[in-house]
Chains A and B, each alone.
Chain A
Amino acid sequence: MKVLSPLDSAAEVDLLVDAGAAEFYCGLLDERWHERYPVMSMNRRPAGKGHFRTFSSLREAVMRAHDRGAQVYFTLNEHYYTAEQYEILWYYIDGALEAGIDAFIVTDFGLIASLHARQYRVALHCSTGATVFNRRSVDFFKELGVVNITLPRHLSVPELRSLSAHVSGVDLTVFILNSRCVNVDGFCTFQHGLAGREIPPMYRNACMLPFQVSGFRMQDCAQPQALPQEACQVRRQKLWERVHVDDHPCGACALYDLYRMGIGSVKIVGRGNPLERKQKDVAFISTLIERARCDDGDRAGFLLHARDLYIQTYERNCRAFMCYYPELL
């Protein structure tokens, strides 16, 4: 099982490989995109930090990664692109290929079809945005030449076990750390990056906003019946405000099971995070993968160790609403 780490610059490669990363994902945005699409991204990350700026720096990162035996994947995972965006997309695709990247991470079936139509011979990975929840969906993308699929966050450990048991010929990647989104990424049509400067960063995305919630009971009522604000049904709806803030959500307890299912990679979210945070995250997960590999038969011991290491590393307690796989708690 490999650690798939975010990567923002060539200077990070060696340090993150030293921490345990074997694969990287990254994006590149420059003025050519910004000038035409200032409020939009090409790769699910808003403008600003978290992108390579030049193809020469990307090429340097790929060379360093390859020298260390690691691979670099280039994100082109926006949910859809329109026809007029393709001229500029080909510029990024050709540039990334010349830089030597090992695969594209994609979501949009239009882009996959366009790459096929142009007979590009490049490894394709499915982003979580492709919403592959089941074995037939794996088959669908396998038929399209996809060799790696990042599964949605919203699959439980038993569901991952069932799915991985039915899959062959495609590597599976699952989320393990940071940004536990409450919406299914590939089905969420909120557009990030639209908030004005007056909106605090923690509320920039629509799903994080503090909403005034009104609840109504519908059953057996001619008219909907308003629920009091203190009703647990209403209070529970406010939970999402607390979840999406990137307060170190973690799924490390599942590594013992994920390792034994044959999951190929675990993904750490964090393009744009400081290098020190990335190093800490990669080292934390790498240490636990090694422990999962060695702890054969001692699942309970692994779970205790994973929780202790989380508390020690991040100086936070395990919290149910920050847990990627709360069914393990």
Chain B
Amino acid sequence: MEQALYISRLQQLDYIRDDFTRLYFGAEFCERLIPDPAEALRVAEFAHGRGLALTLMTPYVTDSGLDRLSPVLDALRDEQMPVEVVFNDWGVLDLLRHDYPEFVPVMGRLLNKTKRGPRIMNIIDKLPGSCRNYFESCVLSVGEACDFLKKRAVYRVEFDNQLQGIRLENTDPGIAKSLYVPYVFVSTTRYCLSAGCDDYGRMDFVGVQPCSRECRDYVFQLDNPVMRVPLLRRGNAVFYVNDRMPDCLAGSNFDRIVVQPEMPV
């Protein structure tokens, strides 16, 4: 089983351990956090020096985000290192296919839309098998979906360790699967409640607004009795923690564990 470390900031390189053979770096949820080319190159040099494979994380992006992403991809291409790129936006896959075919595209966990809200655990045992199967299964159970991905050179899909468990036995073995631990992504917004949260004057503003990367300064925990686990909001994304590894890990369904030492924002 391949072990990968996922970091979103250079300072987190300290989390590296000997058993990691791959390094994930970048931003999954916000285009403002896309690293600049110099940062990406520093991480690439670090990975190269340690003999680690490299995976670049990319978020969903507006046109402006696309323009910000291209220089990073250009810089990594110039290094002529084999690089995986996790896409969480079909437009980024389009960009990779047409402009950067040398990179290996990987479908991110935002496009793998399994249900992850923890409230499902309140009723999962009462549901008929058909519903339970749905919540535990995924789009990769559909052969045409797998063919669709493979036709576009996508041979790996990223998964969260959702509380209700994961069933992969009916999925195409020709598509590799990675499992993210322990933070489970639940939801994201562009109406970021960390943006401008230091400013009383912006208290009631809900929209796309400028920020000073307050997401790097604050974490919020959201508790309600109907949620089995606390929700954690950092920046424009919501997560929970699931430390229990899924039963299907014992089979050969996942071939990579992606360790997030901190919430990946």
Contact = CB atoms under 8 A, between A and B. Distances in A.
Interface of A: 36-40, 79-86, 108-110, 112-114, 116-117, 130-141, 152, 154-156, 159, 162-163, 166, 182-184, 186-191, 194-196, 199, 206-207, 209-219, 224, 227, 232-237, 239-240, 243, 320-321, 323, 325-327
Contacts of A236: 193, 197, 202-203
Kindly state the interface size class of chain B when it binds its partner. 35 or more
A195 B202 CA distance: 32
Given A134-B62, A134-B63, A187-B187, A140 B91 contact: yes
B61 to A, nearest CB: 6
A233 B196 CA distance: 9
A243 B187 CA distance: 16
B208 A140 contact: no
B127 interface: yes
29 contacts: A36-B128, A39-B123, A109-B90, A112-B148, A136-B95, A137-B89, A138-B91, A139-B94, A140-B91, A156-B207, A182-B206, A184-B189, A187-B60, A187-B188, A188-B187, A189-B114, A189-B187, A190-B186, A191-B115, A191-B135, A209-B226, A211-B224, A215-B221, A216-B218, A216-B219, A233-B194, A235-B203, A237-B197, A327-B208
Contact of B62 (A133, A195, A211): A133
Nearest to B200: A232
B138 interface: yes
A198 B47 CA distance: 53
Given A37-B134, A166-B63, A194 B190 contact: no
Contacts of A213: 220-223
Contacts of B90: 109, 130-132, 136-137, 140-141
A214 B223 contact: yes
Nearest to A249: B206
A111 B93 CA distance: 18
B142 to A, nearest CB: 4
Contacts of B187: 183-184, 187-190, 207
9 cross-chain pairs, A with B, having the tightest CB-CB distances, nearest first: A137-B91, A110-B145, A136-B91, A190-B117, A154-B190, A211-B222, A113-B148, A79-B113, A189-B116
A184 B31 CA distance: 14
B89 to A, nearest CB: 6
B114 A80 contact: yes
Nearest to A118: B144
A86 to B, nearest CB: 7
B46 interface: no
B137 A163 contact: no
Interface string B26-63: 00000000000000000000000000000000001111
Contacts of A215: 218-221
Interface in B177-227: 185-191, 193-194, 197-200, 202-208, 214, 216-224, 226-227
A199 B204 contact: no
A255 B120 CA distance: 39
A134 B134 contact: no
B141 A84 contact: yes
A81 B218 CA distance: 36
A210 B222 CA distance: 9
A226 to B, nearest CB: 10
A37 B127 CA distance: 9
Contacts of A79: 113
* Residue in A134, A137, A235 whose Cβ sees the most chain B Cβ within 10 Å: A134
A323 B207 contact: yes
A85 B134 contact: yes
Given A110-B139, A110-B148, A219-B216, A38 B131 contact: yes
Contacts of B139: 80-82, 108-110
B244 to A, nearest CB: 18
Nearest to A192: B117
* Residue in A136, A155, A188, A227 whose Cβ sees the most chain B Cβ within 10 Å: A136
A228 to B, nearest CB: 13
B191 A154 contact: yes
A113 B206 contact: no
Contacts of A219: 216-217
Contacts of A196: 122
A91 to B, nearest CB: 15
Given A156-B207, A188-B187, A131 B60 contact: yes
Given A140-B90, A321-B204, A191 B117 contact: yes
B115 A189 contact: yes
A244 B224 CA distance: 17
A134 B61 contact: yes
A191 B222 contact: no
Given A80-B113, A82-B142, 9 more contacts: A108-B113, A184-B60, A189-B117, A189-B186, A194-B123, A196-B122, A216-B218, A237-B222, A239-B204
Contacts of A86: 142
Contacts of B66: 134-136
Given A86-B142, A194-B122, A233-B218, A187 B63 contact: no
A183 B233 CA distance: 12
Nearest to A210: B224
Contacts of A214: 220-221, 223
B85 interface: no
